Structure 1
């Protein structure tokens, strides 16, 4: 459905370059203009209501209307609308938020550095890894490993860590020193008859062979999302992180956990690390940190990493990294209030109660659908992957744009959805979603999926 060309839409086409958008197609089709939000729903300028099935960008954990967060921002704007953290300055919201994050960390952490997005947080973590190894006298230990289909951001460094082609092509990325190992996706990556545990063993062996090939004295860190988000909502196979971490410990390779999507309850635990037994040296988070009401992200480091950073800053006289808005008091105040609300709502308990409606509902209703190859997920994050051949696990020809077509049909049915690489459709609704709202969402999705099935069958018949 092409949105109507009203004044706002026409001005947008004339003036805005959109992220993750085909710029030529946008000139023709125009934008969907969203005017307000309420709970798990958003509304367009024509008055149409949509359930936001991915919480915007995996991030609006408390939905699209929360007066307490508005009030927290307003109070802080009136008291101290801006101050920075450079050269030892601070303010109460920054300190309180850092203390709250350290109290909630999945493993003991020492300090918190604030940035403005997940990309900046992961870029910062990459720079910290390099800085740390220089400071402790290991200038050759700089190479970093991440995974194919991993997503860590779009800055030059974080986009290099990302393992998706459209984040590299035409940008001259990845930069040197970044290496990618296999995606831990059993459905597509396992060999015939290979169990999840055997698959995990093979991937751990691949990681170790990569480290040994490059030289353990040159490999500094491994970046990983607990559940891979934008690359397909890929849940790691059983024993994967246990085996991966054993390899990293053997070769003294730092582990950076990217909790930008998984953190703050998404997987059913406060952190994705807790869902999969991950003990990181560095942890990055963003998105649900403020329920995305204002931009803020954080990098937590353990004592060992902090000691190296501190020694380096002493030798130079400063830690030469930071952003004008690092620890900005207004987003920090909103994040403090967000964490309080999570505690008061018992957001982990709520996710535990409603997640089975999503996970079991998707599997029960759609796993056997003619278009569906795999349903996967945990907590309130999931994906439905469509395939042309279920037996061969073969996706559709990308030229057919099957997943984007389903997204368009879902929009006609009152859902805003997100297509993933490989004909996947993501589910990551606001954490406050109710059982009834999940059921409504699945009903609408089912109608759209059936409509797509009819369209594809007609195309197949016409092609004969």
Structure 2
């Protein structure tokens, strides 16, 4: 058993750690983080780590950016909290909404703030229902998500999430949610099937699902441009072009969940631009404030704002909102983050670093543990397999991905294991030298993992 420090013991006694095997927390021992600077964090024992996942896909500007800190301090001194209920407003919320409208890839009429990505996506579903009620289609309420999608952890968004551990014993998914195929060619393409044939099959499957459920019952389709927590799944380039006409033909809203992909991560301001599709509404969070404070938003087109207005006139008010939605601190930091992304040309920086990032991932595919690598911009993943030739996965109960991730943490770098896929999503400010150092440490951890697999007799 790990010898725990006093701080680790206090942590275990006080906290429930999300997405952690609770029964093993004392054995694992928590990593107690004390400070961060740039792409580095330091634990309570003084050890430094490269933060290769930007925390949780979100610290795009890294840690301790002085401009962000000063913007936060200034806002806290001026107006530390207020709300937007009852026709109240303040400059940071107004300015951030205007900034979001300016950079959005589609025409946006208004912005509705929330606190987290889960709240934003939950709001999206409520608004889709509200919109269809407003236009006299009360049966048009089902939402199509995808296997391996991740859209949050509220009752509704966890239902949209297409991962079994988010459903088991939470009594989810709820009604009105259906899942279509995961667009991962490497794992779900049939033997002998080309990528084009795979896309055509998924489009036909979506069409069949819509016909089976009844298009008059389906309100919206929600998608991440690049699927994050499901394993960093990059759809084939032709995927969205194939499915979007099907949605349009059946009057189904397209919601782009840009919580991870927004604000430069994929080499454009928004992931839908990178992946070549045009949504009706957009959810944003995480890198909107570079995660210096919690904040999310739903970007709404004029036709949905019209529905809010008409229903408000009918009902007497718009009965939705969050206490901290549009918090002045978060909004001020969002304004500053977008300003920094522009003046430092973070989108251009991601594009410049993307070829090196992709090449280092490609090189990892040569490792005996790695079956597949994929990336887009500065987000990527490597999938570990028991047999490269057959793509045979390890038994999930063996926890090979988690073991390799532990080896990596010992080597001073932090990623995230999603089953046997390791996700990479470094702060967008990472230097070439730091990026190479991250991959060098990852290669070392993979070597450790291969040795461990052989010692365990998991490979001949």
TM-score interval w.r.t. the shorter chain? over 0.9
Which of 419, 440, 443 is the aligned partner of 1:443?
A: 440
Q: In the TM superposition, what are the counterparts of 1:232-271 in structure 2 within 5 Å?
A: 232-271=231-270
SS in 1 for 2:456: helix
- Name the CA distance, whole Å, in 2 between partners of 1:32 and 1:40: 17
Q: 1:402-426 CA distances to partner (integer Å, 9 max, x unpaired)?
A: 00000100011111110013x1101
Answering whether residue 366 of structure 2 is matched by residue 373 of structure 1, we say: no
Q: How many residues align?
A: 460
Answering whether residue 283 of structure 2 is matched by residue 281 of structure 1, we say: no
Q: Where do 5+ consecutive residues of structure 1 fail to align?
A: none
Q: Where do 5+ consecutive residues of structure 2 fail to align?
A: none
Q: TM-score, normalised by structure 1?
A: 0.97
SS in 1 for 2:8: helix
Answering whether residue 427 of structure 2 is matched by residue 430 of structure 1, we say: yes
Deviation at 1:298, TM superposition (A): 0.6
Runs of 4+ in 1 over 6 A off after TM superposition: none
Report the equivalent of 2:386.
388
SS in 1 for 2:31: coil
Q: TM-score, normalised by structure 2?
A: 0.98
Q: In the TM superposition, what are the counterparts of 1:140-219 in structure 2 within 5 Å?
A: 140-219=139-218
Q: 1:267-307 CA distances to partner (integer Å, 9 max, x unpaired)?
A: 11111010011211110010000010100001001111221
SS in 2 for 1:187: helix
- Name the CA distance, whole Å, in 1 between partners of 2:439 and 2:375: 15
Q: In the TM superposition, what are the counterparts of 1:319-398 in structure 2 within 5 Å?
A: 319-363=318-362, 365-398=363-396
Report the equivalent of 1:312.
311
Answering whether residue 460 of structure 2 is matched by residue 460 of structure 1, we say: no
- Name the CA distance, whole Å, in 1 between partners of 2:107 and 2:372: 36
- Name the CA distance, whole Å, in 2 between partners of 1:292 and 1:80: 19
Calculate the aligned-residue CA RMSD, in Å: 1.3
Report the equivalent of 1:10.
9
Deviation at 1:263, TM superposition (A): 0.4
Deviation at 1:55, TM superposition (A): 0.4
- Name the CA distance, whole Å, in 1 between partners of 2:157 and 2:313: 27
Deviation at 1:313, TM superposition (A): 1.5
Answering whether residue 398 of structure 2 is matched by residue 413 of structure 1, we say: no
Deviation at 1:238, TM superposition (A): 2.5
Report the equivalent of 2:19.
20
- Name the CA distance, whole Å, in 1 between partners of 2:223 and 2:64: 32
SS in 2 for 1:460: coil
Report the equivalent of 1:400.
398
Q: For the Cα contact (< 8 Å) 1:9–1:31, is it kept in 2? A: yes
Deviation at 1:355, TM superposition (A): 1.4
- Name the CA distance, whole Å, in 2 between partners of 1:32 and 1:213: 48
Q: For the Cα contact (< 8 Å) 1:141–1:217, is it kept in 2? A: yes
Deviation at 1:222, TM superposition (A): 0.2
